[in-house]
Chains A and B, each alone.
Chain A
Amino acid sequence: MEFHSLRAELLTELQLMAGVIEKKHTMPILANILIEAEGNQLTLKATDLEVGLISHCPAQVVEAGAFTVNAKRLQDMLATLSGQQVSLSMSEGSLLDVVSGAAQFSIETMPTHDFPSIPDYDFSNAVQLPCGFVLECIGRVLFSISSDPHKYAINGALWRLLEGQLTMVSTDGHRMSVLRSQQNAGDGDFDVIVPRKTMGELKKLLGSVDSDEPFLLAIIDGRLFFKIGDRVLFSRAIDGKFPDYEKAIPTNNDKEFVFERSVLSDVMRRKMVLSSDKSKLVRLGFSPNRLVVVLRNAERGESVDQIEIDYQGEAFDVGFNAEYVLDFLKNMSCERIRLFLKDATNQGLFRIADDLDEIQYEHVIMPMRLLG
C-alpha cells in the first residue's frame, strides 16, 4: 500500500473525523481511522459505533490497500509536518511510514478486519434540502438539546417531516426550541430523534460546504444517513418517545414586548459577570414604560439595567435563568426579538421579530419561581 496526497487536504478530513472518534477509548480500535486507497482517491472511515463518518480525499495511489491507525496521532503528525505533500506507505509488518519532506514517522497500525463494519446506505429515496437551510435550522435548536443522560429521549432533536412541513424541536425540560418550515423536500414523511452528537457533527460538516449544495437524508432500518457534499455521516436514531412539544407552547401570553437583540444580549452578558452556579436568576421587573433587569448575588454583588419599553399594563416580575436567555440570544442572528409573557409562572415565548418567511421559530423558556 502506498499513496501520495496533499497534506492540507488530508489534514482537513482528519479534523472533521476527529469529532466522531470515540473519546473514552472503551475499545482501542474506535480511536482509529480506516483509510482505503484505491483508484485516485482515499476513503476515510471513522465511527464510535453510534455515529460514523465516511469521507474522501484525492490521492495518487501507487499501490492500493487499506490500513487502520490511531486517528489523533495521524492528525498530530500531519499537523506538525511542514511539507506540502505527504506519502504514506506500508510494506511488510504493521508499521505505517509517513514521510513529508525530510521528516519521517513510523507508526503502528491495527488489523483492518478489527475495524467495525460500516452499514450499507443508499440515497435513491432520500429527502433533499439545501445545506444552508439545514445549517440555519440546526443552529437554532442545537443549544437547547438536553445533555442529561437520565433523559434519553431528549438527548437529541426531533426532526419531523409531515405533509411538506419540516419541524425540528429540542428541549432540556426547562426550555425548548421549535422550528417549522414548509419544504419541498420530496416524499416520505418521517419522525426521528437525531442525537446531540450527530447534530453537532452535522453542523461542522454543513459549515464546510457551499450553502446551495444539496443535503440528503435517508433513513434505513432506524439508522440515519446524511450526505453533505462528498461526505456521509451516519448515526443511530434515538429510540424514544419525544415529549408532546405542542402542549408546552403557550397560546395565551397576552403581554408582548419587542427588544433589540443586541441590547438584551448585552444586558444578559452583564448579568453573567456576577452570576454563579447557584444564582443565575435574573429578575425582570416590568412596569409602565420601563423594564428593570436585576441579578443579585449575595456573595458577589448586584447588576441592574433599565430598558425603556412600550408597556402600559400592570407592573409584574418574572424570573429567568440568565444563561438560558443568553443562549437563545447568542444563537440567533436577527436584529429584534419579541417576547410574549403571561405571568411569573407560565412559559415565556420568544419569537424572531424579523424572521424569514421560510422559517417560523419559537423559543420557550420556563421561568424560575421567585422565592422572595
Chain B
Amino acid sequence: MPGETPITSLKTTGIAVTNDRKIIHIDMDAFYASVEQRDQPHLKGKPVVVGGSPQGRGVVAAASYEARAFGIRSAMSAFQAVRLCPQAVFIRPRFQAYKEVSQQIRAIFLNYTDLMEPLSLDEAYLDVTQNKANIPSATWVAEAIRRDIFQATRLTASAGVAPNKFLAKVASDVNKPNGICVIRPEEAVSFVASLPIGRFHGIGKATEARMLGLGIEHGAHLRERSQTELIQLFGKIGSFYYQIARGEDPRPVRTDYIRKSVSSEETYQRDLYGQIAIDKELLRLSEEVSRRLARAKAWGKTVHIKVRFPDFTSVTRSASASDHHQEAHWLAEHAIDMVRGTPAYQRGVRLLGVGVSNLLFEGESDHGIQLWLPFQ
C-alpha cells in the first residue's frame, strides 16, 4: 500500500518553558478503525482491520479493539493478522475521511488553545496552561475536549494530563479507550518509577531489550544511572532518558512543524524484476513526491532511495545536488542513478521508495529557487 513517511522536525517558537505547565495529550481511540465502524454500522462490535489486503503484502494501519483482542497490532503484516483472526473484516484505508475528522478535532483544539502540536492525524499535544476558555483545571479542559470531539464526530478520544509532554503521552495510554489519566506534578516521580521501561515513549523495542539486559526494568532503575553513564550507553539520547527518569521533559509544545522530507514508497503485490519495470516505478514515485513538494511549496536538494529485495534485506542511498529542485524528472534521474548502483535490476524488488530532503520553503527570504533557462 502507498505510504507517506514524513519526517518532521521542530523549530523553536520562543515560548518560555516553565515548571508549572499544563499539557494535554489527546489520542483518538483506534482511529481509522473507529471511523470505519462509525460510517459502516454493520461493522460495530466486529474485529476490523484497516490496511493492506490480506492476500497481498500490506500492513495493518489500524485495528479495532475487537481485533486487538486477537493480538492484531498496527504495523503487523496483513497476512499475519488474517492468521490470528480469520473472521476479521479487512478494509482499505480511506485517508480522505480520516483527514476530514482530523480537521474537525484540530478545530476543537483551537477553541481551547493555539499552542497545539499535531503528531499525526489523530494525536496532538496541547499546552493549556493558559486556555481560551479560562478553565482553571487542565483536567476539565481535557474532559471538555473529549466531550466536544464525541459530539462533533461520534468518536471517542483518550487524554493524558500532565506537567509535560512525556508524561502526558504516557498518561493518555493508561485508561484507553475513552479514558483520561491525570498525573499531577507531585506524582510525576513515583509514576515514572513504577513504569515498565517498555512503556516509556521514546524507548523502542531495541533499546528496551538493551535496557532489560542492563537490569533496567522500571523507571526507578533508570533513575539510578548517572547522566554520563546513560550518554555513554545510549549516545546523545541518554540525557533525554536521564530527564524522563525524573519525570522531567522541558520540550515545549511547538506549533510550527517543519516538514523535513517528503517521500513516497510502495510495497508491490508481486516482486518487480528488470530495469524497465523498476525505472518506470521510480518515475511514478518521483512524480508523486514532486506533486507533494509542489503542494507544500517546497524544493529539495537531497534525493533518497530505499530498495527492499525479495529476501527482505534493504538498502538506502542518498545523493545531493548543488541546488534545490521540485521537478519529477530531476528526482527520477537521481533515483534511477542510485538504484542502478544496487543489485535491484538483478535481484528484483519487493519495495521501492523515493524521497527528498534538505528542503527549502516558500517564505524563506534568505534563499531563492534557481530558475531554468527557457530553451523550449
B366 touches A297 (CB 8 A): yes
Query: Which residues of chain B come closer than 8 Å to A364, judged between CB atoms?
Result: 373
A371 touches B373 (CB 8 A): no
B366 touches A321 (CB 8 A): no
Of the candidates B301, B361, B368, the one whose C-beta lies within 8 Å of that of A370 is B368
B367 to chain A, nearest CB (A): 5
Contacts known (A366-B370, A369-B369); A247 close to B375, Cβ less than 8 A: yes
B333 touches A150 (CB 8 A): yes
Query: Which residues of chain B come closer than 8 Å to A244, judged between CB atoms?
Result: 375-376
A35 to chain B, nearest CB (A): 39
Query: Which residues of chain B come closer than 8 Å to A296, judged between CB atoms?
Result: 365-366
Interface residues of B (CB under 8 A from A): 301, 322-323, 333, 337, 358, 360-376
What are 20 A-B pairs with beta-carbon distances under 8 A? A150-B337, A171-B373, A174-B323, A174-B370, A174-B372, A247-B375, A248-B375, A277-B322, A279-B367, A281-B366, A281-B368, A296-B366, A297-B366, A366-B373, A369-B368, A369-B370, A371-B364, A371-B367, A371-B368, A372-B363
B360 touches A371 (CB 8 A): yes
A319 to B363 Cα, complex, angstroms: 14
A368 touches B366 (CB 8 A): no
Query: Which residues of chain A come closer than 8 Å to B337, judged between CB atoms?
Result: 150
Query: Which residues of chain B come closer than 8 Å to A368, judged between CB atoms?
Result: 367-371
A251 to chain B, nearest CB (A): 12
Interface residues of A (CB under 8 A from B): 150, 171, 173-176, 243-245, 247-248, 277-279, 281, 296-298, 319, 321, 345, 347, 364, 366-372
Of the candidates B369, B372, B376, the one whose C-beta lies within 8 Å of that of A371 is B369
A319 to B358 Cα, complex, angstroms: 21
B219 to chain A, nearest CB (A): 38
Q: Which 10 A-B pairs have the closest CB atoms?
A: A368-B368, A372-B365, A243-B375, A281-B368, A248-B373, A319-B368, A366-B371, A369-B369, A372-B363, A296-B366
Contacts known (A150-B333, A371-B360, A371-B361); A278 close to B367, Cβ less than 8 A: yes
Given contact pairs A175-B373, A372-B363, enumerate 7 new A-B contacts (beta carbons under 8 Å). A174-B370, A243-B373, A279-B366, A364-B373, A366-B372, A367-B371, A368-B369
A319 to B373 Cα, complex, angstroms: 15
Of the candidates A150, A243, A345, the one whose C-beta lies within 8 Å of that of B371 is A345
A363 to chain B, nearest CB (A): 12
B373 touches A347 (CB 8 A): yes
A299 to chain B, nearest CB (A): 9
